[in-house]
Structure 1
Amino acid sequence: MNHASEAALTDRVLAQYRNTPDPRLRQILSSLITHLHGFARETGLTFAEWQQGIAFLTRVGQMCTGDRQEFILLSDVLGLSMLVDTIDHRNADGASESTILGPFFVEDAPDLPIDAAMDAGQSGVPLRVTIDVKGGEGQPLPDAEVIVWHSDNDGLYDIQHEAGSGYFLRGRFRTDAQGCLRFWTITPPPYPIPDDGPVGDLLGLAGRHPWRPAHVHFLIAAEQHRTLVTHLFIGGGDYLDSDVVFGVKQGLVVDLERHAAGRAPDGRDCPQGWNCLSYNFCLAPSA
C-alpha cells in the first residue's frame, strides 16, 4: 500500500504541472519531479536527511556573493557542469573541445592589445601564449574576441583578492588579420577551489581533494560562429587525472616549450627563463 500511495502521489504532482504552457518547461519540470521522487524512493530518504539537504542548499545560497558563486561550484564538483557542457556540444564535430566556464569569469575584463602583458607585475615564470583561431573550414577568423583569465602564482584569481586590487591575469583581446593572437602572462600553478564553504564540506565528507590542474581559461567569439568556452591544461602537471571539477579533456592538455634564462625573441628579458604555449582553436559555425 505504501508503494502504491507513493506512486500515486507522484502522479498527482505531475498532473498539476501537465498544463504548463511552455512545452520545454513542462518537459523539464515533469522529468525533474519524476527523478526527484524516484531518488527519494530509491534511497528511502528520511525526513532528517531531507532537512540536512535543505540546510546544505541554504548554506550554498548564503555563500553566494557578487564575486563567489557557490552553486556553480557545487554543480562543478558533482560533474553536472561538465555533463551539461558535453550535452550542449553533441553536434560540435570538428570544433575545438569545450569545457566548463568556472566561477571566476567576469564580463568586464580589461581590453588589451596583441603582444600585451596581462601579468600586471605578478610573480611567476613568464608565459608566452600564441594562438590561432580558425573556422570550420580552416579559414582564419580575424577580429575574433578572445577573453583570457587564470590564477596567480598562489593559486588565487584576482577577484579572490581584497576589494580594490583591480583586475590582473585576465584580458580581452582581438585576433589580427590572420586570426592570430600573442600575449604574455605568467605560468599558472595547480590550485584548490574555494573549500571553506559547504562545497568544501561535501568534498571532505566524500574523501575528495579540492585541487584543479594548472590551466588557462579561454572564451572565444567570432561572427557567424559558435562561442567556445574552454581551458588549456599544462601537460605533465599534477591532478590531470583527478580534476575536482572533471574538466580535463586529453585534447586540451598542452606541453609547454620551456626556455632557459635570457631574452625572448621579442626582446623581453626573462632572467627566470620563460615558457611558450601554442594552440590552434577551431570554432564551429553557428546554427
Structure 2
Amino acid sequence: MNQRTIRGRSTTATDDQQRAEQKLLDEVLASFGGTPDPRLRQVMRAIVRHLHALIREVRLTEEEWQKAIEFLTAAGNITDDKRQEFVLLSDVLGATMQTIAVNNQAYRGATAATIFGPFFVEGSPQIPLGGDIARGAGGTPCWVEGTVTDTDGNPVPGARIEVWECDEDGYYDVQYGDDRSAGRAHLFTDVDGRYRFWGLKPVPYPIPHDGPVGRMLAATGRSPFRVAHLHFMVSADGLRTLVTHTFVSGDPQLAAGDSVFGVKDSLITEFVDKPAGTPTPDGRDVGDRKWAQARFDIVLAPAGV
C-alpha cells in the first residue's frame, strides 16, 4: 500500500489501485507507439510518464487539477504579441535555464549562457564603437567595454553584439507601448576584437507579476525581482552564438535571489561608480552627474559544441 496524507486527510493507494493506475499509464504510453517521428514519440512518452508520476506522487485531487487548468487558461488569455506568460512561467520554474544548460555545455572557459528574456527586439539600431545605447532612456550613464575572443584567446573582429536593458524605473522600451526605441542597440567589434559603448548602470526590477504567474509567486512567497543586469547576444562566423547577461556585483538582490534563476557567478561584474566630475574614458561630458564603468570580456565557443 502507498500511504498519502492530503491536507490532513489520509489517502491509501492499495495494490489493486496502483495496478490500475499503472495499467492506465501503459495504455497512454502505448497510444503514442505509432508516432512516425521518433523524437516526437520519445518526448511525448516522457511527458506522459512524468505527468502521471506527479499526479500519483502527490495524489492530486480533481479540484487541484481543475485549478491547474484554470491557471493555464489564464496564462493563455493574458498572452499577446507584447507579453508571453508561458515564457514567464518557464522562466520562474527554472525550465528555461535548465534548457539553456542542456544546450550550452561548458567548453574551455567560454562565457556562460543565460536566459534570453522576453524583451529582445529584432532590428535594433546600429551604433558606432563608443556610441550610446540608452538613446534617451533615464538612468546613470555607464561606460561598458571589453573584448570578444575565441577559446584559444584569439580576438574576434567584426563580432555582432546586441545589447539591451531596462531604464532606471525598471522598464524596457517595449513596455511603454508608444513605439519608442531606447536602451537597445547593436555594434561590432574592431579588428582587435574590442568593443565599447555607453549605456545605463543596470538596476533590479520585477518581472511582470500582475498575471497568473505573479499570483503563483505571491502564493508561494517568492519575489518577482530580477538581479540588475545587462543583456548581450554575441554572434560571429564559426562560433556558437552566445546569449548572456552581466550582473552587477554588490546588488542586494543577488542575496535575495533571481526570480528566473539566471545568475551565474562567472557573469557577475564590478560596476564601478564614479563621482560627478570624474573624466570619462572617451572624454564625454556627462555634466554634473555621476557615472559608472564596467568591463565584461566575452569568450565564444566553437559552433557545434
- Fold agreement, TM-score > 0.5: yes
- Label 1:93 to 1:20 Cα distance change in 2 as closer, same or farther (>3 A): farther
Are residue 283 (structure 1) and residue 297 (structure 2) matched? no
Superposed CA deviations along residues 96-115 of structure 1, whole A, max 9, x for unmatched, are 01111011112222222211
Question: 2:160 is aligned with what amino acid?
Answer: E
Secondary structure, aligned partner of 1:216? strand
- For residue 192 of structure 1, what is the aligned residue in structure 2? 206
Pick one of 93, 98, 116 that aligns with 1:78.
93
- Name the counterpart of 1:234: 248
* Match status 1:61 vs 2:62: no
| Poorly superposed stretches of 4+, deviation over 3 Å | none
> Which residue does the alignment assign to 2:12?
none
Q: In structure 2, what is the equivalent of residue 128 of structure 1?
A: 143
Offset, 1:91: 4.6
Range 239-248 or range 218-227, more displaced? 239-248
Q: In the alignment, is the contact (CA less than 8 A) between 2:204 and 2:227 conserved in 1?
A: yes
Contact 2:201 2:271 in 1 (8 A): no
The structure having more radius of gyration, on CA atoms, is 2
State, as a whole percentage, how many aligned pairs show the same letter.
44
What is the deviation of 1:22?
1.5
Compared CA separation, residues 95 and 265, structure 1 to 2 (3 A) = closer
Match of 1:204 among 205, 218, 226: 218
**2:52 equivalent among 26, 37, 55:** 37
Q: Which residue in the other structure is 2:285 paired with?
A: 269
Partners of 1:160 and 1:66 in 2: CA distance: 12
CA offset digits 1:1-49 (Å, max 9, x no partner) = 2211111111011111012121211111111111101111111111111
For 2:30 and 2:107, the matched residues in 1 are separated by 37
What is the TM-score with the length of structure 2 in the denominator? 0.91
The residue correspondences of 1:78-227 to structure 2 (distance < 5 A) are 78-164=93-179, 166-227=180-241
Range with greater deviation from structure 2 (277-286 or 238-247): 238-247
1:252 corresponds to which of 267, 273, 285:
267
Q: Which segments of 5 or more consecutive residues in structure 1 lack a partner in the other structure?
A: none
Separation in 2, partners of 1:96, 1:65: 33
Deviation at 1:193, TM superposition (A): 0.7
> Hey, what's the Cα distance between the residues in 2 that align with 1:162 and 1:25?
38
Query: TM-score with structure 1 length normalisation?
Result: 0.96
Q: Say what the alpha-carbon RMSD is for the aligned residues.
A: 1.2
CA distance in 2, matches of 1:200, 1:63: 12
Shift of residue 159, structure 1, vs aligned partner: 0.6
Cα distance in structure 1, aligned partners of 2:198 and 2:51: 48
Return 5+ residue gaps in structure 2 as ranges: 1-15
* Deviation readout 1:229-271 (Å, 9 max, x if unpaired): 1000010012113111111111100111222212313221122
Tell whether the 8 Å contact from 2:145 to 2:196 is kept in structure 1 after alignment: yes
Amino acid paired to 2:114: T
* Deviation sequence 1:196-233 (CA, Å, 0-9, x none): 00010000000111111110000001100001110000
Q: Number of residue pairs matched?
A: 286
SS at match of 1:188: coil
Q: For residue 274 of structure 1, what is the amino acid of its counterpart?
A: W
Quote the Cα distance in structure 1 between the aligned partners of 2:182 and 2:40: 40
Distance 1:76 1:244 in 2: 8
One-letter amino acid of the structure 2 residue matched with residue 89 of structure 1: N
